[in-house]
Structure 1
């Protein structure tokens, strides 16, 4: 198993590709809806287009707000982030009519990289339940003893085989693409917090746990 060591420019480019991939679908749907409004005079189709535009705009906004906290600077170096804001953007991205989202955490200001770690673990976990399900996020402890758990259950539950290795900064091929950059980035964030991520996967539940590194 090869240890990955990406150049900073490659990491930035791959993360940008990932964010663009997440946002381009709802933005494209907005464009399609606007084209229908311009070209179709049928009231039923126009109402359908307006509904598509409204839903897609909400989706695009939710994804951008999430990415701002999960991937962006979100303040100056050393800044803290309100866990209530983190819950809001995670709920906006993940909770829908197919997915029940539960967040258990005292509201507090937490170092930004620990908040980014929690949000990125949510993103990995959400990919395990493509048809929806239940996500339970628990953040407990304070200071250097913060612990994060994200557990998911649902139909078609599956954890991609490369996730655990990429979280540890390793890759069988020695490379990573835009599809795998997010778990690799999550591992970088965890190590920046002096934390490690444990992956527990069964046929019924996938749990990602982040805790301080053992002395």
Structure 2
């Protein structure tokens, strides 16, 4: 069985819905509380909750628009500052993850953007107690480094990144990893995954 575009789109949509469920539910809860609450101080807190949840939702949508969709219309490249803002916004407002940005090129080709963003998503997910996410790119080479007090990197995700998971075994949790594998394979590129330390995860990508 091969992975069709429809199958992959379905899995990616499931991942998107999963990530948006929490902030959207928080907005719904905030609206219900606001409707019933009479105390001015509590109403102000409800408004703050609604504002923060709306920003989180907007940030996630901006990120996934670039990572999964066709952001930028018919243009073949994306401004790297827009990429940085999308990744930074994904982390929310608690600053658990600090972003190190080493990107000199003003724009990046769309295919490379999808690889970078989806790998950033996987790397940030591994930092379950926060930490540092360093991202650098030059030409066709991309390097992503995650470091934190506790780093968990699922071997199933690594297998999907390397194309070692049969398509029929894929789940929404593995969809981003499979997308990365497909994009790199399509371009004849290479992906390297390394764990030089239990608290460090490295991705190296060469897009030929």
Task: Give matches, 1:152-191, under 5 Å.
Answer: 152-171=146-165, 174-191=168-185
Q: Larger helix proportion, structure 1 or 2?
A: 2
- 1:78 CA displacement: 6.7
Report what 1:109 is aligned to. Answer: 107
Structure 1 partner of 2:129: 131
Q: Is the 8 A contact 2:102 2:135 kept in 1?
A: yes
Structure 1 residue matching 2:104: 3-state secondary structure: coil
The 8 Å contact of residues 84 and 101 in structure 2, kept in 1 or not, is answered as yes
Distance in 2 (CA, whole Å) between partners of 1:48 and 1:193 is 50
Q: TM-score, normalised by structure 1?
A: 0.89
Q: How does 1:1-215 map to 2 (within 5 A)?
A: 5-76=2-73, 79-94=76-91, 96-140=94-138, 142=139, 146-171=140-165, 174-201=168-195, 202-212=197-207
CA distance in 2, matches of 1:42, 1:194: 61
Which structure is richer in relative contact order (CA contacts within 8 A, separation 6 or more)? Answer: 1
Distance change (3 Å), C-alpha of 1:76 and 1:59: closer
Q: Tell me how far apart the structure 2 counterparts of residues 24 and 30 of structure 1 sit (CA, whole Å).
A: 10
Q: TM-score, normalised by structure 2?
A: 0.92
Question: Would you say how many aligned residue pairs link Structure 1 and Structure 2?
Answer: 206
For residues 165 and 107 of structure 1, the distance between their equivalents in structure 2, rounded to whole angstroms, comes to: 31
Q: Would the aligned equivalents of 2:184 and 2:207 in 1 still touch at CA under 8 Å?
A: no
Q: Could you tell me whether the CA contact under 8 Å between 1:138 and 1:150 is conserved in 2?
A: yes
Q: Larger deviation: 125-134 or 170-179?
A: 170-179
| RMSD over aligned Cα atoms | 1.8
2-structure distance, mates of 1:185, 1:172: 13
Offset, 1:5: 2.5
